[in-house]
Amino acid sequence: MVRWLHISDLHIAKRSDWINFEKELIKKCCEYDKIDLVIVTGDFHNFSEGDNFGLARDFLQKLLVNLKLDIEKDLFVVPGNHDGVSSVKTKNFFIRSAKSSPFEDTEQWVRGLLVAFEGYENFVQELIPHYPVEHPASVHNRTWRNQINFIHCNTALAADGKEKENQLLDVDALAEMTYIPDMPNILLAHNSFFDLHQKHQQRVKDTIRANSICAYFCGDCHKQEIHEIPLGRVEVPCVVSYRSAPDPQDNYSSFGIILGEWEGDLAELRGWCWESGQGFIEDPKITGESFQMRVDHAQQSTSHPDAPNIEEPPTKISVGAKCLDPQIEEYTLKRLFVTNYYQLTRQQCTLFNQKHGDIPLFLGVDSKILSDYVNAAQEKGILSDLVQDLFRVLASD
């Protein structure tokens, strides 16, 4: 069993909420059982603090000591938009140029915008001595104890503090990274995949598909959520963390942490919200969500739809040419529905809706709408029925 702690957006306001949260967080992690590594997906401070990352540095050092972890081997960090604050006279020019023509003079605007992360890079090199790359704000990979390969992405290169969408990263460097086929590969970023520039979303999808990447971890939204990145017949989860530094003046954010457990081929997530007056409360929005750590997108994308990658169950329900285990967990049901949804023809969708007119299905929706549809079916307790009927109409030809 491997366990990780995923936190994000450490806009630390050293007031009562943060002081109590920090103590409870360390206590919870120590009681939870051994935490093996810590992931922080950006925004280590506020714009107003300039190049002073002292509060985040002190917290992370204390956290790693209390968890009895090696800060050089067990801490993985990526920058956020609040971390690129070093002075760059031509920053706005580079941002406008990059967003208008993301594939023109890429090397120039990437190099120009990386300069804004000089303070962040000094912070990382002070926090993690002997950091393996010269520029921690660039795209690079680090492997956790020969078990998980993390790809560090800087999606805040063109962040201007105003526009939330159309964020950019160095997709050329991302494609060139070292991906290890016999271990899980996970992308770490600050911005959600769905907040990237549309053209960069496409290139990130290509990299995920070509290298069998199993997950995309990020922050930035200050609210926890999981959405699936569609890759045709398969999907990869985009796991968005809470803001992990409560502030009594922040009435927007959800505060909390995500804990991951990996054993065998499957990783399972647990969400913990923190609220003043209550402390940590388990979050059903995250807890129980899981994803495959051992994947081969190339094999899955060419496999026959009648052969989902599920172990043969002892008891089966036959549905046309398919079989479904009545004990399959909700996560697997979600994946089965979403994966097979992309194979529906218009006629098959019409057949499906003849039976489920109260919760009609539409073709061509984006992944967020599809995810909301599946979650609604789960809440109604009809997800298993929908999966069976989806298999039925797919077998109707």
Q: What does the pLDDT profile of the chain (397 residues) look like in tens digits?
A: 999 999 999 999 999 999 999 999 999 999 887 999 999 999 999 988 888 999 999 999 999 999 999 999 999 999 999 999 888 778 888 898 888 899 999 999 999 999 999 999 999 999 999 999 999 999 999 999 999 999 999 999 999 877 788 999 999 999 999 999 989 999 999 999 999 999 999 999 999 999 989 999 999 999 999 999 988 777 899 999 999 999 999 999 999 999 999 998 999 999 999 999 999 999 999 999 999 998 776 555 443 333 333 333 333 344 333 444 444 456 677 877 887 787 778 788 888 998 898 899 988 776 778 888 988 888 888 998 898 888 888 887 5
11/106 same-domain check = yes
66/169 same-domain check = yes
Residues 6+ apart with CB under 8 A from 82: 11, 42, 43, 44, 45, 46, 47
287/309 same-domain check = no
Closest CA to 21 of 287, 241, 275, 286: 275
Residue with tokens 């769905």: 194
Q: How far is it, in rounded angstroms, from Cα 83 to Cα 198?
A: 23
Residues 6+ apart with CB under 8 A from 81: 42, 43, 156, 159, 161, 190, 191, 220
Range of the domain at 264: 2-292
**How many CA atoms are closer than 13 Å to the CA of 107, on its beta-carbon side?**
0
**Residue 223 is assigned to a structural domain of this protein:** yes
255/363 same-domain check = no
Burial classification of residue 254, based on how many CB atoms lie within 10 Å of its CB (0-12 exposed, 13-18 middle, 19 or more buried): buried
Closest CA to 231 of 254, 256, 208, 260: 208
Q: How far is it, in rounded angstroms, from Cα 344 to Cα 263?
A: 33
379/310 same-domain check = yes
Q: Residue count of the chain, please give it.
A: 397
* 285 C-beta neighbours (distance < 10 Å), count: 14
Q: Identify residue 95 by its one-letter amino acid code.
A: I
Domain count, the chain: 2
Phi, psi of 387 (to 5 degrees): -60, -45
**Residue 88 is assigned to a structural domain of this protein:** yes
Contact 342, 232 (CB under 8 A): yes
Contact 91, 54 (CB under 8 A): no
90/208 same-domain check = yes
- Select from 243, 269, 292 the last residue of a domain: 292
Residues 6+ apart with CB under 8 A from 181: 212
336/187 same-domain check = no
89/181 same-domain check = yes
pTM of the model: 0.77
246/365 same-domain check = no
